A and B are shown apart, each in its own frame.
Chain A
Amino acid sequence: MLRGLMELALMRLLRDAPEYGLEILDRLRRDAGLHLAEGTIYPLLHRLESAGAIRSEWRLGEGGARPRRYYALTDRGAAELEALAGEWRRVSSALTSFLES
């Protein structure tokens, strides 16, 4: 289930703007409250890229900074995000009702 949530949060994050791996990991920890280990994010990014949900490109850093690989959501990824978010809302709403019943 955590994998599904991580995927959902990651695609939501990339909906706003392209980001690189380290920043994605830190923002998922900080903004989405996910407790992710260092090594979990890149395999997921590579899988989503090979599935066509995201794409990546290397960008040179400004002012001599190291290059970074930026990931961005594709149209297919945006459609998948919408479907996943809808499913999450449905499950979350049903579970909340159940817990409060």
Chain B
Amino acid sequence: MDEDTYGAVKVYLRQLGWALDSLPERDRDDIVEETRLHMLARLEAGRSLESLIAELGPADRYARSFIDQMEASSALASQQPFKSWAVVARRAHRSIVAATVLAATAGLLVLGLIGAVPLVLKPFDPTHVGLWVMDSGGFVIGKARGGPGDHELLGAWIYPLAVLDLLAVWLIGRRLVLWAVARLAR
């Protein structure tokens, strides 16, 4: 192997190491060394550097495939919803599954907030906070002035219902996010 080729391999490996910066040092070193040995073996067997690098892809894209796999795998092993959600959010621009689940969890967050608002506000203003049917038509969840013709539907029942809403949002969201990260890990 000539010096130019070896120099180009070293440049590729250096770029790979930089792109793997977010991984633990041991993993990074193992990947770079394994890639080095793989490239040298192929080149010594007569493969051209250009075709080898074309197949591996640019160093940053090759590094991304390790980071994606290891992030998803680590989140999946931890079973932590917030860590898993962060992985889903980071992959949303490159994966339909991740984008869909991210949108679904945003919807669940809104539903959770709808449940949380009366739960937080009602103890401070029990007269005006609740699920209101307005005289003008339509519903208000939260605080309303409670004018003539408006009436509140739930009274104290809003507490257990809000708790149920938050619980359902948490359980569905958690399941959804863990399912998505399991899909992304494969």
Contacts and interface: CB of A to CB of B under 8 A. Distances in A.
Interface stretch (A10-18, A42-50, A85-93): A42-50
B31 A42 contact: yes
Contacts of B33: 69
B65 A39 contact: yes
B76 A42 contact: no
Contacts of B69: 43-44, 46-47
Interface string B156-186: 0000000000000000000000000000011
B34 A42 contact: yes
Category for how many chain A residues contact B: 20 to 34
Contacts of A50: 70, 73-74, 77
Contacts of B114: none
A47 B67 CA distance: 10
A38 interface: yes
Given A4-B186, A44-B69, A69 B34 contact: yes
Interface of B: 27, 30-31, 33-35, 37-38, 40-42, 52, 55-57, 62, 65-66, 68-70, 72-74, 76-77, 185-186
Given A37-B56, A47-B73, A66-B40, 13 more contacts: A4-B186, A22-B38, A22-B41, A38-B55, A39-B56, A39-B57, A40-B65, A42-B31, A42-B38, A43-B69, A46-B66, A47-B69, A52-B77
